[in-house]
Amino acid sequence: MISSSIPLQRVIAILLLALGILFASGCDTGQQAVEPEAPTTRPGPSGAFDLDWELFDAVRVETAGDRKVDVVLPAELQQEIEIVSLEIPENLRKLTGRAVRISGVGYLTRSGVIDDAVHQFALLPPSAISCACCALPDTRLSWTIFVDCSRRAWPLPDGDPFFATVEGVLQIEKDNYLGCLFVLESARATVQPLEEPIPASHDSHSKPENNE
């Protein structure tokens, strides 16, 4: 009786082992590593998506002649830029035509001020001036935003530059006199004097230390 029961026990053991392997493989399949999402956007209470300046870090611009390309403030661009290669991350490009919101440092332009009212201005990440003089910002094409607030023009601010939170419709590669790649049209700007130094809470691009 004992010898005849041994094969049955082996069969049961093999079945249990097989079930264990199947269960383990099923758990592995269900726990596959998920790649972390790139800095992206989330709709706020107004329905506008909050833009993170880190999205612009992945923008790559190559121009003819390999010359350094900056927008010129406060004047308009004096020379046309021939872009031979442009890479814009998909999670930024997919927001074209969508309402977005972003905060940064605003600079007036000569053509953007009409009858003492601001109709257009340039918006930069706070890090563009955090390590340099405010009069000489880093106006690289990969992150300078042309803001068109002509439908909601506002009085000249007390100082230039200034801190601004802007909500508008994002457009990419739309013509503008600064030659910017990114445009916010039908924009509404909330403006306040620029603090020195710029509060770290307004500059996600600079990655301040976490003191918590």
- Find all residues with CB under 8 Å of 183, minimum gap 6, and list them: 145, 146, 147, 148, 170, 171, 172, 174, 176
pTM exceeding 0.85: no
> Distances from the Cα of 123 to the Cαs of 29, 37, 93, in angstroms?
46, 26, 18
Query: Could you tell me if 58 and 151 lie in one domain?
Result: yes
pLDDT at site 67: 54
Query: Could you tell me if 29 and 80 lie in one domain?
Result: no
- Find all residues with CB under 8 Å of 93, minimum gap 6, and list them: 172
Q: Number of folded domains in the chain?
A: 2
Measured at the CA of 203, the angle between CA 202 and CA 208, to 5 degrees, comes to: 115
Whether 40 is in a domain gets the answer: no
Measured at the CA of 201, the angle between CA 105 and CA 74, to 5 degrees, comes to: 5
Whether 70 is in a domain gets the answer: yes
Query: Could you tell me if 77 and 167 lie in one domain?
Result: yes
pLDDT at site 63: 75
Domain of 153, in residue numbers: 49-206
Query: Could you tell me if 29 and 53 lie in one domain?
Result: no
Query: Could you tell me if 12 and 67 lie in one domain?
Result: no
Query: Could you tell me if 186 and 83 lie in one domain?
Result: yes
Query: Could you tell me if 147 and 76 lie in one domain?
Result: yes
User: What are phi and psi for residue 159, nearest 5 degrees?
Assistant: -140, 160
Sign of torsion over alpha carbons 34, 40, 46, 48: negative
Whether 43 is in a domain gets the answer: no
Sign of torsion over alpha carbons 118, 124, 125, 129: negative
How would you write the pLDDT of the chain (212 residues) with one tens digit per residue? Answer: 444 445 656 645 555 555 454 444 444 444 443 333 444 455 555 689 999 999 998 999 887 765 555 555 655 555 566 777 889 999 999 999 999 999 999 999 889 999 999 999 999 999 888 655 566 788 888 999 999 999 999 999 888 899 999 999 999 989 998 889 999 999 999 999 987 555 544 454 444 333 33
